[in-house]
Structures are given as C-alpha cells and as structure tokens.
C-alpha cells in the first residue's frame, strides 16, 4: 500500500516513516533500529560534538545496511564542520532543522544525498522549495522540542496546497490513526519523535521513559515563548517555574534553562531538567521495540485506510445506482 509513495520510492524503504531527529536521544542505535524496522532512522546531531557525531554515524552504519538520516540544526555553531563530516562519511539523507540550508543543498545534491527541511511556516517552506530540497517536513505545534504556532491539522493541508514538493507530517502522531489522518491531510509520509523516546532502543533514561508513559495529553507546557524560542516539554515543577520566571526575569529563566536538556536526558533530573516531549506523550502507554511500534502503527493505518477506501467505493457505487 505504501511502496509507491515518493519517500518509499526514493529511499527504497518499506514504510513512509521518519524518526524525528532528537537532540540527546536520537543516537546511532535508535536510528539503526528504526531503519531496520522499515522506516528511516535519524541521528539528531544537535547535542553532539564532531567526535560524538562521527562515532554515532559509525555505530549506525555498523548496525544497518538500510538508509538513515542525520538531522542538522542550521543554528549549530559547528554546522559547516558537521556538513563536511556527513559528506566524508557519505550519509545518504540529511534533514535540516531551524533554518534555510541554502548553498549546502547543492553540495549534498552533487554528492547524491537526499535532502529534507523541517518547517513550521509556509514562508520557510516556500524558501526551501525554491532552494530545491527533496522533501519538506511540516511540523505542527503539538510536537516535542522547538515549535511554531500552527497545529499539524492546519499546517499540513496548507503546505500540501502550496507546494509541489512532497510534504511529510510531523507533530502529534503516535499511532496508526495519526498516520492515516496525515495522509487524509495531504501528507505523503510522517515524522515521529515523542513515541520513540519510549522505545527499548532509545537512550533516554528510565525516569524519562516512565514520565512519557504516565503523561496525559495535557501534561506538556511550552517554555521559552517569552524568550523567543518556544520549546514543548513535559510539565514538571521545574518547567512550571521557568514559565512563571519568564514573566519577570528572562535572564534568570535563560540561565536556568542552560544545560537543562542535558540534565533531563542524562540523569532524569526532575528539579533542573527540561524533558522535551510532544502532546502525543499522552497517547503512549508502553515501552516497545521500534519494530513492534512501527509494525503496529502501520497495521492500524492500513486497516483504517482500506476501510475508508472501501466505504468511498461503496458510496460511489450507491450514488451511481441512485440509492443515495
Ligand atoms: C526530545 C526531542 C528532541 C528533538 N530535537 C530535535 C532536533 O534536534 N532537531 C529537529 O529538527 N527536531 C527536533 N525535535 C523534533 C522532532 O524531530 C520531531 O519533528 C517531533 O518530535 C515530531 O513531533 P512528535 O514529538 O509529536 O512526534 C525534537 C523532538 C523531541 C521530542
């Protein structure tokens, strides 16, 4: 059902699913597990030094023969060095976040790599299309991490109308219903982050995973709105404190946020850590392997899409017979 979609055709993968690049969590082992399960695994390079990134790419390459991606943040001070490393190690897919990759695109195209850009606005999407990315990932504000202000439900159809480039939907998708809905909205695939934090292969600590399992759909907050960089995190006494503090002293809030993602990821520090996660944490109820997660999602999505298709065909037949 999915193999004729552009993402599957272009990368020769089974499912049109991308593991969202996740700073701190998206390491080589998780990326390889998603690629081996039929999706496209992504290494999140945002939190890595050059040496660490090289190690994680090597780890991924040793664990899978399937294509995988590296997510690079355009705001990363080491972006040029990371680009050179990806070219040297022949990374097959590069996903750019937080900006316009501009001239890097041509370099990767000449090297035969597939390029993608993450956007939360129509303006950036148009810029990336003109620059020539192969896929555009529209990320709604339900998602975990740095976010824009428009929901997936509205952003994806708007981008699908606007662009010729295939659109991938991200934000709030955690099961087959979300995947089926993304197709209905005009997407040609999905990018998922939060669901995979609670996977066996994710490097998140046990506290982080358990917090995802215990969260309801209202258990995230957006910190940093007043500081100009909104980030969706799990609701904790620390994130609530940051939100209150932003109103009075942005400098103090910035100071406390410094290093808080690392503290959440490395030791599950509830008092000083920011646990990045999307609203879909409320839809995650168990820790499973990437293979189990992906197989279950696509079995459910296939059932829904076939059911919908059958109903549409039945309805058309009835209309033609004049019984409706
Ligand atoms: C822990 C975490 C870290 C993230 N880090 C990045 C990042 O470094 N670069 C990026 O482009 N997106 C990042 N994201 C966004 C994901 O790539 C993905 O688009 C998003 O998680 C999709 O929404 P979902 O969380 O509702 O599945 C991050 C998300 C999470 C949850």
Q: What is the DSSP string of 265-324?
A: HHH--TTT---B--GGGGG----B-HHHHHHHHHHHHHHHHHHHHHHHHHHHHHHHHT--
pLDDT of res. 318: 81
Beta carbons within 10 angstroms of residue 320's beta carbon: 9
Ligand 1 pocket list (CB less than 6 A): 20-23, 25, 44, 46, 71, 73, 97, 118, 139, 142-145, 170-173, 191-194, 276-278, 280
Residue 42 falls in which region: left (phi positive, over 0), alpha (psi -120 to 50) or beta: beta
CA of 321 to the centre of ligand 1 (A): 49
| Residue the block writes with tokens 């129509």 | 122
Q: How far is the centre of ligand 1, averaged over its atoms, from the C-alpha of 3 (Å)?
A: 25
Contact 74, 100 (CB under 8 A): yes
CA of 119 to the centre of ligand 1 (A): 12
Ligand 1 atom nearest the C-alpha of 95 is 11
pLDDT confidence of residue 266:
83
Q: Which residues of the chain have pLDDT under 50?
A: none
Q: Which of 143, 175, 196, 207 to mutate to test the pocket of ligand 1 (most atoms within 8 A of CB)?
A: 143
Q: Residue 280 and residue 62: Cα distance in Å, rounded?
A: 31
- Token code pair at residue 57: 């790419």
Secondary-structure class of domain 6-204 per CATH? alpha beta
Cα angle: 128, vertex 5, 27; to 5 degrees: 65
Which sequence spans correspond to the domains of the chain? 6-204, 206-280
pLDDT of 114: 98
Tell me how far apart the alpha carbons of residues 96 and 102 are, in angstroms, rounded to a whole number. Answer: 10
CA distance 21 to 27: 9
The answer to whether residues 43 and 68 touch, using CB atoms and an 8 Å cutoff, is yes
Q: How far is the CA of 145 from the centre of ligand 1 (A)?
A: 5
Q: Which residues contact 39 (CB under 8 A, 6 or more apart)?
A: 13, 14, 15, 17, 18, 19, 290, 294
Query: What backbone phi and psi angles, to 5 degrees, belong to 264?
Result: -70, -50
Asked whether 100 and 118 are in contact (CB, 8 A), the reply is no
> What whole-number distance in Å separates Cα of residue 171 and Cα of residue 142?
5
3-state SS, residue 146: strand
pLDDT attached to residue 226: 79
Q: What's the CA gap between 208 and 74, in Å, rounded?
A: 27
Among protein residues, the one whose CA lies closest to atom 1 of ligand 1: 276
Q: What's the CA gap between 23 and 202, in Å, rounded?
A: 12
Residue 280 near residue 172, CB atoms below 8 Å:
yes
What CA–CA distances, in Å, run from 216 to 139, 210, 229, 281, 283? Answer: 21, 12, 24, 7, 7
Burial (Cβ within 10 Å: 0-12, 13-18, ≥19) of residue 125: buried
CA pair distance 148, 150, nearest whole angstrom:
6
Atom of ligand 1 nearest to the CA of 46: 8
Structure tokens given for 259: 């290093």
Which helix (DSSP H) or strand (DSSP E) does residue 108 occupy? helix 104-110
pLDDT tens digits for 116-151? 999 999 999 999 999 999 999 999 999 999 999 999
250 CA → ligand 1 middle, Å: 24
Atom of ligand 1 nearest to the CA of 174: 27
């Amino acid at each position: 059902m999915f193999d004729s979609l552009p993402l599957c055709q272009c990368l020769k993968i089974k499912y049109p699913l991308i593991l969202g690049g996740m700073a701190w969590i998206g390491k080589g082992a998780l990326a390889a597990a998603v690629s081996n399960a039929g999706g496209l695994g992504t290494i999140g390079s945002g939190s890595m030094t050059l040496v660490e990134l090289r190690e994680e790419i090597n780890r991924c390459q040793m664990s899978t023969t399937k294509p995988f991606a590296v997510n690079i943040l355009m705001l990363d001070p080491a972006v040029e060095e990371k680009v050179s490393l990806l070219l040297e190690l022949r990374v097959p897919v590069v996903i750019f976040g937080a900006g316009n990759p501009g001239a890097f695109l041509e370099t990767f195209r000449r090297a035969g790599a597939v390029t993608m850009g993450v956007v939360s606005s129509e303006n950036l999407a148009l810029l990336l299309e003109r620059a020539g990315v192969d896929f555009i990932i529209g990320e709604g504000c339900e998602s975990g991490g740095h976010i824009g202000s428009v929901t997936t439900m509205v952003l994806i159809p708007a981008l699908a109308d606007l662009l010729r480039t295939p659109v991938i939907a991200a934000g709030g998708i955690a099961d087959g219903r979300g995947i089926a809905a993304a197709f209905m909205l005009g997407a040609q695939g999905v990018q998922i982050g939060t669901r995979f934090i609670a996977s066996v292969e994710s490097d998140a600590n046990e506290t982080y995973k358990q917090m995802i399992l215990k969260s309801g759909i209202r258990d995230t907050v957006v910190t940093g709105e007043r500081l100009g960089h909104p980030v969706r995190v799990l609701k904790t006494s620390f994130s609530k404190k940051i939100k209150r503090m932003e109103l009075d002293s942005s400098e103090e809030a910035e100071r406390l946020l410094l290093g808080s993602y690392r503290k959440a990821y490395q030791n599950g520090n509830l008092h000083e850590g920011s646990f990045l996660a999307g609203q879909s944490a409320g839809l995650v109820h168990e820790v499973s392997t990437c293979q189990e997660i992906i197989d279950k999602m696509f079995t459910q999505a296939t059932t829904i899409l076939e059911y919908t298709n059958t109903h549409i065909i039945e309805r058309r037949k009835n209309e033609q017979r004049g019984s409706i």
